[in-house]
Structure 1
Amino acid sequence: MKFALLAAALTLSPAIAPTTAFAQMRALSDPVVGHPDPESLFTSPDRKLHRNKQAALRIQRELLKCNEWARAGEWLTDRYIQHNPVAASGLKGVQDYFLNVAKRTPTVPCPNLSANDPNAVVAVMAEGDYVTILTKRIVPYADDPSQSYTTTWFDTWRFVDGKADEHWDPATLPTGPAPQAAASAPYLGTDEDRAAINALMWRYDRSLDHYDAEAYAANFTPDGAFGQVKGHDALRKMITDLVAGQDKRRAEGATIGKMHHFTMNQWLEFTGPTTARYHYYHQTVFGTGGALGSPTAPVMAAAGQGVDDLVKVDGKWYIQYRNVAPTREQE
């Protein structure tokens, strides 16, 4: 279902299925399994490749598994160029983090790599100065951390004289807003911002009820979205398609009442000076009035709860994402 509020307008059926939240996905892939003899992968008949693979083995075993970071200089160069966005370059910084900040203590004695390691080695590839290790990664499901799935991580090193001089992996920065200091008070927004957002949401309902495609799209940022419908062109088309569908049904003899959208029990949550979340309940009603059972009697076509992400751009508030079917984690 692309969206909930407009579904009734597209079908104009008196009986509308209730909106359902998007389900948390589950992995479809086969599980990642470590190699039964991982250390056998770190060898090569080529002398140079063998040397680099053995250094990679030491990084994987002595450093990453057994935390012997005081010995890191045996396998990392002093400049050790790091491309992981949450790690700084340099041997000294690496050692300072693991020894003094994370306070990792060595595992003694250091066991061999095993297929049972949480980050078990899957494959090792070497070419020229580069060695890549593929490893298993266990990831908990967001909606149920007691369950998990497996995927594949990689680490690639470039070696100089038997030591890793440069490193790559697929790490990214954490997503979502920056964490606020525990002692800081929540940002409550200004009276001007609250008034502007109230006006924005009024314009949204009015442009939708008047089938004004241009005005409707103008409520969103250029990349704004209603559910899966993203961007001004797609949003305008959503409204014009709605009008075309209604015209077709009228031509077939259907009676279509005036559409009204109701937004109720609003709670405006500012997440920063230029960002906010708009929590609400919504109803879509067709009809112009009259007693129950009459052709013009109001008919509720949809109802539910919504959470919209709003953003302030160049002094004006816009909808960035309208979500009329939030999951419990999004509410």
Structure 2
Amino acid sequence: MKFVNTILAAALVAVSPTAVSAQMRALSDPVVPHPDPESLFSSSDPVLHRNKQAALHIQRELLKCNEWARAGEWLTDAYIQHNPVAASGLEGVIYYFVEIAKREPLNPCPALSAEDPNGVVAVMAEGDYVTILTRRIMPYADNPAESYTTTWFDTWRFVDGKADEHWDPATLPTAAPPQPTGVAAMNAEQLAQRMADREAIEARMWAYDRSLDNYDPEAYAANFTPNGAFGRTQGREALAQMIRDLAAGQEERRQQGVAIAKMHHFTMNQWLEFTGPNSARYHYYHQTVFGTGGAVGSATAPVVAAAGQGVDDLVKVDGEWLIQMRNVAPTREQE
């Protein structure tokens, strides 16, 4: 049956590549992570074992638990990148994840699990190189509420137990598709639908900021598609846990005597770009501010904790506009 499906898919591509791109479903078996991923990071060879253990720390402490302040323990200062949207250098890596993406460390840091969205499938080591194969969950273009799995890889070259060079299959983002219908060419019904879509998206982004400022994990996650993502945090449960961890971390600091004022997120200079009948891109500037009042220079004056530019992708699923990807640190190509 799989052979028949493959022949049918090939025939459809020959007839109508555009139509099949919107309708095709994965023909492959799903990618399944290893049931005990951390057991893969060992070797009887002492050099390979050291490199595999360093790769484990990168996968667990950095990529899963966001302990980027510790990145220098496992990455060299040079850290040569071959990902086209990432610059080389340890300082740049730390700055991006800590200051721009605002990744909050998980405490305690859990072990790698087969339940991780990017669960580890296999680990291979030879010479100075270690490659990790992981699952990647991808949404279907015509229905982002559904998804399929494929395989991602990361390869590192190690020097004295630290990663000095990195490869992965990332590519530069493609340009957004053109607007399907110009406003001038819309009829009354289409214009009314466009206005309704715009209002729904504005309401969604308002709900996003309010749920975040109120540390409401369930309401926050409900703003996303089931497999929606904020950076590398993907899926509603992982997104809800991110907010729980944020609230817990702040409460722990309060218990230590640190005064933390109320958080407010500001979204400004918005431009809503419709990229299709059921997809849109939300461009904006953003600020995160702690505090509600007080003169400049006073102890109660608002404090700007972060500022930057964002580009979010939204999709319309069963008549509801939801966030598919929240990107608060886009590259020039993504703007």
**Structure 2-normalised TM-score?**
0.47
**Structure 1-normalised TM-score?**
0.48
Work out which of the two has the higher radius of gyration on C-alpha atoms and give 1 or 2. 1
Task: Answer 1 or 2: higher relative contact order, Cα 8 Å, separation at least 6.
Answer: 1
